[in-house]
Amino acid sequence: MRKLTNIVITGGAGFIGSNLIRYIFEKTDFSGKIINLDVLTYAGNPYSLDDIDKKFGGSQYFFEKADIRDRKAVDAILVKYDVDTIIHLAAESHVDRSITGPEEFITTNINGTFNLLEAAKNYWKDFEGKLFHHVSTDEVYGSLGDEGFFTEDTPYDPRSPYSAAKASSDHLVMAYFHTYGMPITMSNCSNNYGPYQFPEKLIPVMIENMLTEKALPVYGDGKNIRDWLYVEDHNSAVWTIVNNGKTGRTYNIGGENEWENIKLVNSLCEIVAKETGKELNYYKKLITFVKDRPGHDRRYAIDCSRIKKELDWKQTYSFDSGLSETVKWYLTERSWIENVKSGEYLKWMEENYSER
């Protein structure tokens, strides 16, 4: 088990990052410091960690508003907190946005990762007791047909500007291991869902639109398949790797839980109907098939036997329990939703969804 003391988590104000910080403080015995390094794009919200800030702020939890592309700012944070571990999540993360505006995906996901690697290499010099963990995606592997799974040996074949930029960052991270001996670990995970997910991704879009009686936009024929994992299970996997993973190694993480989009949307209608007491048809009639996403990957499926066998990790949430927890969270936390659904978010949704 590694000794982790001062951990920078980039993108800690986003969906997975904020859940990761909460997970570490609430579900592990970590006693060091966590520095949340986040520039607060439209997807970042410090409000997601209000409770953690109240309990641990100034002693174990610190927030630094900074851009991973800003080398001076990153250098200063590494020095200020004598950082020994970096868990890198900061990224532009939404495939649809990468289609309408790819530039930020290149500068943040590629240049930003390069900048962090350089800053860490320069600050650490001696790599003893250090770790750079890179959080990546199964989308780097491309698209599957009806059969088969992505393994860690599947050749990279990214299709969207988002996945191409993530693939590029994965290669850079691996290059720093091979070339400079930087201690790195990497994970490639399937689709996450759970609380604090920005309402532009499938599950929160559907829940929000049901609650506001808007059309539920299903892309194409609705038969694309994704593998879904509850965000806390992703984070327990990341924590397992950071503590016990072998350096230079990649671990796939997945839910072993494949769903066609249309079946998932129907299921969400049932859960929301049960929770709100409304007729099932009130929600189902909102389902609307819309123009497909360009280059829409057909199927993702993950073989995560490596992390299960080598690091003894497993999923703990069933899809039933995870989905109903998620629906209940979105029904209850209305102030979080109203907070994120202001300004920039609404503008983008209006511009991009009016055409569909």
Residues known to be catalytic: 138-139, 162
Q: How far is the CB of 55 from ligand DAU (least distance, A)?
A: 29
3-state secondary structure string across 248-285: CEEEEECCCCEEEHHHHHHHHHHHHHHHHCCCHHHHHC
Specify the pairing of strand 225-230 against strand 258-260.
Answer: antiparallel
217: partner contacted, choices ligand DAU, ligand NAD, none (Cβ within 5-8 A by kind): ligand DAU
Residue entry with tokens 């980039």: 10
Instruction: Report the C-alpha gap between 101 and 326 in whole angstroms.
Output: 29
Q: Which two tokens stand for residue 179?
A: 């070339």
Check binding of 161 to ligand NAD (CB under 6 A): no
Give, as ranges, the residues between 56 and 115 that touch ligand DAU (CB under 6 A).
93-95
Instruction: Report the C-alpha gap between 163 and 169 in whole angstroms.
Output: 10
What phi and psi values does residue 251 have, to the nearest 5 degrees? -125, 125
Q: How far is the CB of 165 from ligand NAD (least distance, A)?
A: 9
Q: Which of 4, 64, 112, 160 binds ligand NAD (CB under 6 A)?
A: 112
Binding mask of the shown chain, residues 280 to 299, with x at each position contacting ligand DAU by CB under 6 A:
-------------x------
Q: How far is the CB of 226 from ligand NAD (least distance, A)?
A: 9
Q: Do 57 and 12 touch, CB atoms closer than 8 A?
A: no
Q: What is the dihedral of CA 62, 108, 181, 153, to 10 degrees?
A: 120
Q: Which two tokens stand for residue 109?
A: 């996901």
Check binding of 35 to ligand NAD (CB under 6 A): no
Check binding of 161 to ligand DAU (CB under 6 A): no
Check binding of 190 to ligand DAU (CB under 6 A): yes
Q: Do 308 and 251 touch, CB atoms closer than 8 A?
A: no
Q: Which of 4, 8, 9, 11 binds ligand NAD (CB under 6 A)?
A: 11
Q: What residues contact residue 144 under an 8 Å CB cut-off, 6+ apart?
A: 150, 298, 299, 300, 301
Nearer to ligand DAU, 79 or 346 (CB): 346
User: What's the DSSP call for residue 32?
Assistant: S
Nearer to ligand NAD, 93 or 240 (CB): 93
Which range in 1-9, 15-23, 123-131, 317-325 contacts ligand NAD by CB under 6 A? 15-23
Nearer to ligand NAD, 112 or 245 (CB): 112
Q: What residues contact residue 157 under an 8 Å CB cut-off, 6+ apart?
A: 140, 141, 142, 143
Check binding of 73 to ligand NAD (CB under 6 A): no
Check binding of 8 to ligand NAD (CB under 6 A): no
Nearer to ligand NAD, 124 or 300 (CB): 300
Nearest to 93 by CA among 83, 104, 82, 79: 104
Check binding of 185 to ligand NAD (CB under 6 A): no
Q: Is 238 exposed, middle or buried (0-12, 13-18, 19+ CB in 10 A)?
A: buried
17: partner contacted, choices ligand DAU, ligand NAD, none (Cβ within 5-8 A by kind): ligand NAD
> Would you tell me which residues interact with ligand NAD (CB under 6 A)?
10-11, 13-17, 38-41, 43-44, 67-69, 89-93, 108, 112, 135, 137, 166, 189, 191-192, 198
